Structure 1
Amino acid sequence: MYRTEVISKLFGRVGWRQEAGAPVVDSANLASKSKRYFQGAHSIISLKRIKETAGEVNMNDAAFNALLKTMQESSIAAVLDGVFNQSEIIEQRLEFDVCDQEPVLIENSGLFVGRKIKVSSNAARSVRVNAISLYFNGAGTFNIYLFNSLKKLPIKTLEVTTEADSIVVVEPDDWILNYMDGGVKSGVFYIGYFQSDLVGVKAYDQRPWSWICANCYRSDAIEAEAPTATDFVRTNPPITSRTYGLNIEFSSVNDYTEVIKQNPQAFDTAIGLQMGAMVVEQIMNSVRSNGTERISKEQAHQLYIDLNLEKMTEELPFSTGLKGQLNREMKRLNLNFFPKEKPFTITSPNDPCYTPRFNR
């Protein structure tokens, strides 16, 4: 998977070249950080032809630029979907199974309580907070916070309302814990609440027999001193066995957002080819009738060949269609980001060339 923020990161890597007599293209669609232009994919591609074969008739410049924006975003998404097509979900777990022991009420002591979460240092892994189960002895409204050890203010805040002696499940929106992203580099995460915010309610300790182990993160219950109502001591907060009324459901996922953001230039060729194939298909399938879009049967046949040819012929021994070029580029990108492991030979430890292999 990848988060939608990468679309804007790649937007403008390839752009449109303004043409004489064509609709006026805005600066966002003209931007080309790679100095490559979509018209280079095929000679038939032009701004005027795109406009005259679009579904909307007589669109103004604003509508036309909105169309170009949508087409570029669609091209970027199609390329990323084709390259990063590995399995997404790695694991999905609760922190613990509820046992048959009688839960115990926890007195409020003015602490910040909750969880300390250490996530994998793999940049292509993320941990999602799917849901938080709340178990308290009364109805109360307070905030659950997501902090990082390297940021003073909370990253996320969620207002919750509990029920008396009944589990309430809340689903945070877009709580993603990543070792490296645009706002956080390294550090550990904290999810919890300030006991000073609880008015007339107390949390239950469900006393689980054991906590469920995960592959891509570790979650420990903590109880940290809170010198103020909005901050807590984050240096080595005491680990506890008490659940403090919380049981969090996490998912570990393959997340290539940061990998994509740090290597935007890798996708320039594929995005240009994807746009080229999209425009050629639009021209071929247009049902509009006007002087610009009208093409002969011979032209239509040649466009079909230019788009779909995927093998060498005696006439064109070194040519391939746009889709063939795109497919080849997508395979190259996939192999670049997911290289196949090379075979290796295990030699004797007594051999001077012997090198132990760890963490394969």
Structure 2
Amino acid sequence: MTHRAPHFSLAVVAAAVMLPQAAEPQQPRALKKADTEFPEPFSQVGGIRELRDGRVIVIDPREPQLALIDMKTGSLTPIGKQGSGPGEWRAPRALYRFAGDSTLVQDPPNGRFLILTPDGKPARIVDPSVGALSRASGLLQSIDLRGLMYYQGSGVQANAPIPLDSAVIGRFDPARQAHDTVGKVALGKASFVATRLQDGRQARRLVGEPFSPGDAWNVFPDGRIAIARVGNYHLEILGTDGTVIKGQPVKYTPVKIGEAEKREWRAQLPGGSEPDSWPAVKPPFPANNAVWPMPNGETWVARSAAADAKQTSIDVFDRQARWTGMVTLPPGMTIVGVGARHIYAVRTDADDLKYLGRYAIP
């Protein structure tokens, strides 16, 4: 990196604790049949949030749709409507817990957040461009039970010829209107590509390299941060008291990249973009939605899988960042959220429709 190192809080500069691996790893646990599966399919499940009464807020970015569903009765109630007025949204991208068990809906096309009441009804609009929140809004990752907001800093520096290779984990305290830096993560490789805007002006676009390894992270409700480190695959937990717990490296067999994996990557991009070259293997875990803090204090990290894999494997770590075993999911199934006692996962049928299921934590 060529830019000046930022100031770090105690969570980063505190002495790290290196712990041995758990002596007796568990046998692989399988995610069994769903306790309940919502009967109607979605085009895509971009995120969920479980309410205290068991109902679930769901966003479908492709439709787009923001809805409240009841997994028991199979009912679906739209929340608000598409638009830019009070209580409206254009294309919800993410859901976050918020103060008083309310829900924060990120709506990038409108450049704002929509707040939902604890029973899932539109309450008010928050403009993130006003005040100190503007730094946290773009790459918001999580909000803890104290109301502190965690976000990832930008990987782009103004006028820099190349993107940065790392970014900070920032924390915003709405009560104090204050930011601090609590960690740092490695970013996957990317490059700038020249493009022309509709008005004829030249611009540059950031394009990530396929399957480029980078760290992944998420936040526990109590504010602890779990980071899956990609360079020497292991888990780190940043404590709220400034401690840093580092687990031992995890053994894994890299997934080779063949034609099926290349097709898988192309399908996720518009326009059928083709990179100049491909890496030989996938990183140990995907870039998005890899790290899941669990209600029992475990951290789950989803491994990268071959395109024709018979199952999805998830590494399980205890509170001390020690690898304890694995959980397996059926092929093509992905976790999209975690509730008080359940996991929410999506299975895809032959028509590429997505079915949301609620599963007991194995």
Structure with greater Cα Rg = 1
Q: Which has the higher helix share?
A: 1
Query: Which one scores higher on RCO, CA 8 angstroms, separation ≥ 6?
Result: 1
The normalised TM-score by structure 2 is 0.20
Q: Which has the higher strand share?
A: 2
The normalised TM-score by structure 1 is 0.20
